[in-house]
Amino acid sequence: MYPVIIGLIIPERVPKDPHIAVKFATTTAQTAGDVKMSFHGCLISLPLERSPILDKMYFFSASAMKGSASGLSLITRSQTIYQIHPNVPRTEDHKIANPQVDPFITEAEQKYILSSLGDQSKDKNIKHPWKDILTSTAVWAITVGCITAMWGSFTFQTQLPKFLSDTYEQNLDVTGIIAAVPYILVVGMLLLSGYLADWVRVKGYLTTGQVRRYFTCFAYLAQMIFLLLIIYTIDPIWNTVFICLAVGFGAFPWSGYAINSLDLAPSHASVIKGLATTIGTFSGIISPIVAGYIVTDKSREQWELVFYISAGVYFIGSLFCWIFIRGNIQPWAKIDLEKLETKKAQDEPEKYITKLYREYQEDAKVPFWRKRRYHVVVMVFFGLFNLLNLRINLSVGIVAMTQKMNVTLENGTIIEEQEFDWDSKEQGFILSSFFYGYITTQILGGYLASRFGGHLVFGMGIGLTAALALLIPIAAKTHIALFYATRILQGIVGGTAYPSVLVIWAQWAPVYERSFMGNVAYTGNFVGIIAAMLVSGLISVAWGWENIFYFFGKAIYILHFKNFVFGPII
């Protein structure tokens, strides 16, 4: 129940990502930063999941309210709201935080961003052309790309610890560390792919459409190949290498389909992202359940079937995206077509860059630590980092929660005990429950972000997800139904976060910085995964699985609260 609640809270994040990007990320920096943050979370959580302190992992997450990680999520939430939307007198134009009204932005940076993105006063009271959006093949290419990426990503994030444990019988702490290694590679590849995507566009080597197509499709094919190599390789060392590469190449699509909605319609990017993520999230629900039904006796043959299915999904997704991905503003995006500078940036990049040379040179004189758009990238990074921590730690925690332990009775008899006697099917439903809620608020999150500001929706989604993390240990011990409900609620509130980020990028990311800014922020996803996998296992072994949730929940909450009440850190 708790996993379901978490899923409901987190989905809001995805629709908000585009909204934030539209306002803060230049067109050349919209990709790399956003994704890198998510992988950082995987790096931390996977190694921890196999640690002896797994039982305390969830407790630690909830302890964030006392000073640990759930508190961290709540802290980030408040910080995001305050940081991107400063506490200044509010006017009608200030409903949506952007460079035109930001009181801390330098004049040079403001001119550079606005010259790239055009007049943002048109972004108020946007009416979304739903019929055109739903019938656009370019939008459906983004959706299929999202389905493909999420199937593979959620399979790795939720099943990798179990696969390593079942196949190689590693201890919990060792499995967590190994499971986090691929996400370290992802972080580096995100930065590389984001920079490369913007560089080849600026140089004129590839068009925007070609960049989005190549970075998406070739990456999916590479992931398919490495999954097949895992199946046909018995050696554990080579298997680990192929797992790392299969996960690592998942960084490139973040500079492809993931940022593509900003190319098609910046003003509608958040709802497009919300639509794609709503449908794509079904992968997050289905893949753990499918794996649970297939892997019943922990045999390698059963795991091979799981990888065959994932390889097939990658192939189909690559083919569809190759045919239908586009890179230009669409005819139905009338608001964006009126912003002539944005259109020129895509149609005539070399002339556009020459025209902007003066603004760029003036902006370059401003120290990078004073540039507000980079402050925004940092805030989105930590927001995604926290969100992934809250989502991933259960993948580690459930191993400890269902682990069989030898217990010696007073008479000397040794028996096996298991705190939660959940079979593989029940575990599959528990791991996917977050996404039951997650799919319900993606479009809503994008809509709310476009109306009230990506910063607000993004921050609230993460903060509420952190608060619910503190309830997970109680819910799990009370009844499995309550456990499901809590995770679903987390998914509901968390689902608003991603779409809201695109609203931020649409306002802050210059056209030729979109890929890099986005990918730098998105590394927060994977650093969060790394952190969750590394730390969760250690916490569980040392203090019990409950502390996993207390730690992350409290820490995130505290961080948000501090910045919301006392002001931004940056």
Max mean pLDDT range (26-35, 45-54, 121-130, 302-311): 302-311
Which pLDDT band holds residue 432 (cuts at 50, 70, 90)? Answer: confident
As a whole number, mean pLDDT of residues 95-107 equals 73
Alpha helices in 233-371 (DSSP H): 236-248, 260-264, 269-294, 300-324, 334-338, 340-347, 349-355, 357-364
Nearest CA among 393, 395, 232, 241 for reference residue 307: 232
Which pLDDT band holds residue 372 (cuts at 50, 70, 90)? Answer: confident
Least confident piece of the model among 258-272, 337-351, 387-401, 500-514: 337-351
Provide the pLDDT for residue 512: 78
CATH 3.90.245.10 fits 95-119+369-569, yes or no: no
Q: Which residue has the higher pLDDT, 506 or 87?
A: 506
* pLDDT at 299 exceeding the cut of 60: yes
* Token pair recorded at residue 77: 């939430």
The secondary element (H helix, E strand) that includes residue 405 is: strand 404-408
Least confident piece of the model among 168-182, 320-334, 469-483: 168-182
* pLDDT at 222 exceeding the cut of 90: yes
How far is CA 288 from each of CA 15, 159, 177, 285, 292, rounded to the nearest angstrom? 23, 7, 21, 6, 6
Q: Is residue 86 exposed (0-12), middle (13-18) or buried (19+ Cβ within 10 Å)?
A: middle
Provide the pLDDT for residue 316: 96
Which pLDDT band holds residue 155 (cuts at 50, 70, 90)? Answer: confident
Which pLDDT band holds residue 526 (cuts at 50, 70, 90)? Answer: confident
Give the rounded percent of residues in the chain with a pLDDT score beyond 90. Answer: 16
d(CA 435, CA 422): 19
Whether residue 551 contacts residue 60, with contact meaning beta carbons closer than 8 Å, is answered with yes
Domain boundaries, the chain: 95-119+369-569, 136-334
Give the rounded percent of residues in the chain with a pLDDT score beyond 70. Answer: 68
Which pLDDT band holds residue 323 (cuts at 50, 70, 90)? Answer: very high
Rounded to 10 deg, the angle between the 372-401 and 13-24 helix axes is 160
- Encode pLDDT of 37-78 as tens digits: 444 444 444 444 444 333 333 333 333 333 344 444 444 444
Which three-class secondary structure state does DSSP give residue 509?
strand
Provide the pLDDT for residue 518: 87
Q: How is domain 136-334 classified at the architecture level of CATH?
A: Up-down Bundle (1.20)
- Would 95-119+369-569 and 136-334 be classified into the same CATH topology? yes
Provide the pLDDT for residue 110: 83
* pLDDT at 347 exceeding the cut of 80: no
Which pLDDT band holds residue 276 (cuts at 50, 70, 90)? Answer: very high
The rounded radius of gyration (Å) of the Cα atoms in the chain is 22
pTM for this model (two decimals): 0.69
Which pLDDT band holds residue 329 (cuts at 50, 70, 90)? Answer: confident
Which pLDDT band holds residue 173 (cuts at 50, 70, 90)? Answer: low
Provide the pLDDT for residue 436: 85
Q: Which residue has the higher pLDDT, 537 or 52?
A: 537
Which pLDDT band holds residue 12 (cuts at 50, 70, 90)? Answer: very low
**Cα-flanking dihedrals φ and ψ of residue 533, to 5°?**
-75, -35
Average pLDDT, the chain: 75
Helix/strand/coil (H/E/C) assignment for every residue in 228-265: HHHHCCCCHHHHHHHHHHHHHHHHHHHHCHHHHHHHHC
d(CA 39, CA 192): 14
The secondary element (H helix, E strand) that includes residue 26 is: strand 25-26
**Cα-flanking dihedrals φ and ψ of residue 30, to 5°?**
-100, -5
**Cα-flanking dihedrals φ and ψ of residue 348, to 5°?**
-135, 70
Provide the pLDDT for residue 138: 95
d(CA 274, CA 281): 10
Least confident piece of the model among 99-103, 239-243, 486-490: 99-103
Which pLDDT band holds residue 252 (cuts at 50, 70, 90)? Answer: very high
